[in-house]
Amino acid sequence: MVTIKEGKLETALLPLDNYPYKVPSNWFWVRIGEVTEVVTGSTPPKKETRFFNGNIPFAKPNDLDQGRWLEDTHEHLTEEGLKISRPIPPNSTLVCCIGSIGKVAFNNNMCSTNQQINSLIPYKCLDPLFVYYYCNTQEFKNSLIRDSSATTISIINKSKMCKIRITIPPLPEQKRIVSRIESLLGKINEAKQLIAEAKETSADRCAAILAKAFRGELTKKWREENPDVEPVNKLLERAQQEVSSVKTRRGVPKNVAENEVVHNVQLPNTWKWLSVSELLYSGILIDVKDGNHGSNHPKTSEFTSSGLPFITASQVKDFKIDYEGAYKISGEPLHKLKIGFAEPGDVILTHKGTVGRVAINKEKCVLSPQTTYYRVNGMLLNNRYLTYYLFSPLYFNQVAQVMSQTTRNFVPISEQYNQFIPIAPVEEQCHISDILDTLFDLSTQSYINVDLESQIESLIQTVLAKAFRGELGTNNPNEESALELL
């Protein structure tokens, strides 16, 4: 790889008024032809059979449909054919420039292309994958379409492609951007794969995804890539050492027999089924409690226009809590209440009447006998992970056995202690939660997005747009300016 040709620095840098959008002060905009070698492919004479059927990939536009990598091609050249064509070194970005303009791939190995593809071979001022991801942005694709020839078939020639703009951050920042993009797109693609596999109705699709998540199937690849994560057995030992003085409420059983659901679901060997009571005794759960029963339960006449929200099952819906619509309690009736005071970060579960609605609590409130709070030790149990699990079919199948023994939908606190939760390593809990957030979006309190297929490209473009504006939180303004690269 080479740098910009001597004496061309002034012409390489674009003036500020030619920037398509604002970037950090240590970034610059240049023309692609100043920071990459743009190579238009060529096809050896077809009549010369000695040029074909070798081992060197020969890419055409249809070969750019395999995802990021140019894994293989339909046609191959011989060494002799490569000399007639134009060799493209590894770590180049291949861009379709005729017909299906904007299709992109990245080559790991030496290859060649036909004349419908322009290849961008980066100079040393550019991380090769930074170029690839930039060529996937809507900004780049719009430039291709805008600058293409208005003929029956869209064409963008080499000279026009060389004039397209690209932003240049410092090289360390380029590498951080690539790493961050790949992390975020990895999660989006995992979600995309899950949706592709689950083609049932909306409700069944939701249940299928959650079941995969809490059987460990969603993160199988993640475990292979992270073999040194602390298993739950070790986490449990550490938790018990750290919380030797845990105080558990009366009525929490010491031993709980495994139920049918636990027997039928095989977890990864780094996971462990633990009952709610075990989680309480180990300090992984700090507290589990419902609201006030009996004489301490407020009368309707005791509610006030302002005060602490009193949360019943009807206030919990679609992963959110309606604090405004809740009754309020204050003064002496509030002081009479002994239990059920929920804190921000608690997971709220409805367990009477309507069973199985969940939400993460956002403000101090007090619970009714219809709702339970689960207070987690955030260092050991992710509250988003727990929220999703309490909404999953694995949990509902357990409590359904309890409800079948009652005349109404009711899972008392005494039975909640007996239910089991599949505990994954903390890092894996977070990864599962991040993927499920893509589908359920707890952060905006909206219900499951079962039509994500139609929005995947939009999500990808959002990530890329933020990346190339310096908005992913990776930029260091004190780093040496990208100007030094040029």
pLDDT tens digits, one per residue of 193-236:
776 665 445 567 778 889 999 999 999 999 999 999 999 998 88
Q: Is residue 397 part of a domain?
A: yes
Tokens of 117: 């593809």
Tokens of 311: 């949360």
Confidence check: pLDDT of 351 > 50 = yes
pLDDT of the residue at 383? 98
Looking at the structure, tell me whether residues 153 and 255 fall in a common domain. Answer: no
Q: Which of 403, 399, 286 is nearest to 345 (CA)?
A: 286
Q: Is residue 294 part of a domain?
A: yes
Looking at the structure, tell me whether residues 253 and 131 fall in a common domain. Answer: no
Tokens 């004479």 map to which residue? 45
DSSP-assigned letter for residue 230 = P
Side chain identity at 359, as an amino acid letter?
Answer: A
Looking at the structure, tell me whether residues 133 and 242 fall in a common domain. Answer: no
Q: Is residue 114 part of a domain?
A: yes
Confidence check: pLDDT of 6 > 50 = no
Looking at the structure, tell me whether residues 270 and 355 fall in a common domain. Answer: yes
Q: Is residue 202 part of a domain?
A: no
d(CA 128, CA 184): 19
Looking at the structure, tell me whether residues 282 and 387 fall in a common domain. Answer: yes
Query: Mean pLDDT, to the nearest integer, of 277-288?
Result: 94
Looking at the structure, tell me whether residues 393 and 480 fall in a common domain. Answer: no
pLDDT of the residue at 261? 85
pLDDT of the residue at 486? 59
pLDDT of the residue at 203? 60
Confidence check: pLDDT of 100 > 70 = yes
Assign 386 to helix, strand or coil.
Answer: helix
Query: Mean pLDDT, to the nearest integer, of 56-82?
Result: 91
Instruction: Give the pLDDT band of residue 474 (cuts 50, 70, 90).
Output: confident
pLDDT of the residue at 452? 53
Where residue 77 sits, what CATH number does that domain have? 3.90.220.20
Looking at the structure, tell me whether residues 91 and 153 fall in a common domain. Answer: yes
Confidence check: pLDDT of 160 > 80 = yes
Q: Where does 249-402 show beta strands of DSSP type E?
A: 272-275, 285-290, 308-311, 316-317, 320-321, 327-329, 341-342, 347-352, 354-360, 365-367, 371-376
Instruction: Give the pLDDT band of residue 7 (cuts 50, 70, 90).
Output: very low
d(CA 70, CA 90): 10
Query: Mean pLDDT, to the nearest integer, of 129-151?
Result: 90
Q: Is residue 191 part of a domain?
A: no
**Of the listed ranges 237-241, 365-369, 466-470, the one predicted with least confidence:** 237-241
Q: How many domains does the chain have?
A: 2
Question: What is the share, in percent, of the chain residues with pLDDT greater than 70?
Answer: 88
Q: Is residue 23 part of a domain?
A: yes
d(CA 425, CA 428): 5
Q: How many CA atoms lie within 13 A of 218 on its CB side?
A: 28
Looking at the structure, tell me whether residues 390 and 262 fall in a common domain. Answer: yes
What is the per-residue pLDDT across 118-127, written as a single tens digit (0 to 9) for each? 999 999 999 9
Looking at the structure, tell me whether residues 61 and 158 fall in a common domain. Answer: yes
Confidence check: pLDDT of 280 > 50 = yes
Instruction: Give the pLDDT band of residue 401 (cuts 50, 70, 90).
Output: confident
Task: Pinpoint the alpha helices (H) of 255-306.
Answer: 260-264, 276-282
- CB atoms closer than 10 angstroms to residue 46: 8
Q: Is residue 438 part of a domain?
A: no
Looking at the structure, tell me whether residues 276 and 361 fall in a common domain. Answer: yes
d(CA 297, CA 338): 10
Bigger pLDDT: 229 or 458? Answer: 229
Measured at the CA of 363, the angle between CA 357 and CA 367, to 5 degrees, comes to 50
Domain edge (last residue) among 408, 424, 440: 424
The domain in which residue 294 lies consists of 230-424
Bigger pLDDT: 111 or 303? Answer: 111
Looking at the structure, tell me whether residues 291 and 386 fall in a common domain. Answer: yes
Instruction: Give the pLDDT band of residue 451 (cuts 50, 70, 90).
Output: low
- Cβ neighbors of 391 (< 8 A, separation 6 or more) are 210, 356, 358
Confidence check: pLDDT of 31 > 80 = yes
What is the per-residue pLDDT across 176-194, written as a single tens digit (0 to 9) for each? 999 999 998 888 888 777 7
Which pTM value belongs to this model?
0.57
Assign 398 to helix, strand or coil.
Answer: helix
Looking at the structure, tell me whether residues 346 and 417 fall in a common domain. Answer: yes
Of the chain, the end-to-end C-alpha distance in Å amounts to 13
Torsion of CA 244, 249, 254, 260, to 10 degrees: -120
Confidence check: pLDDT of 453 > 80 = no
Confidence check: pLDDT of 158 > 70 = yes
pLDDT of the residue at 1? 42
- Cβ neighbors of 232 (< 8 A, separation 6 or more) are 270, 271, 272, 274, 423, 424, 425
**Of the listed ranges 216-230, 249-263, 449-463, the one predicted with least confidence:** 449-463
**Of the listed ranges 48-62, 370-384, 467-481, the one predicted with least confidence:** 467-481
Query: Mean pLDDT, to the nearest integer, of 132-160?
Result: 88
- Cβ neighbors of 98 (< 8 A, separation 6 or more) are 61, 115, 116, 153, 154, 155, 156
Query: Mean pLDDT, to the nearest integer, of 144-169?
Result: 87
d(CA 460, CA 474): 18
Q: Is residue 420 part of a domain?
A: yes
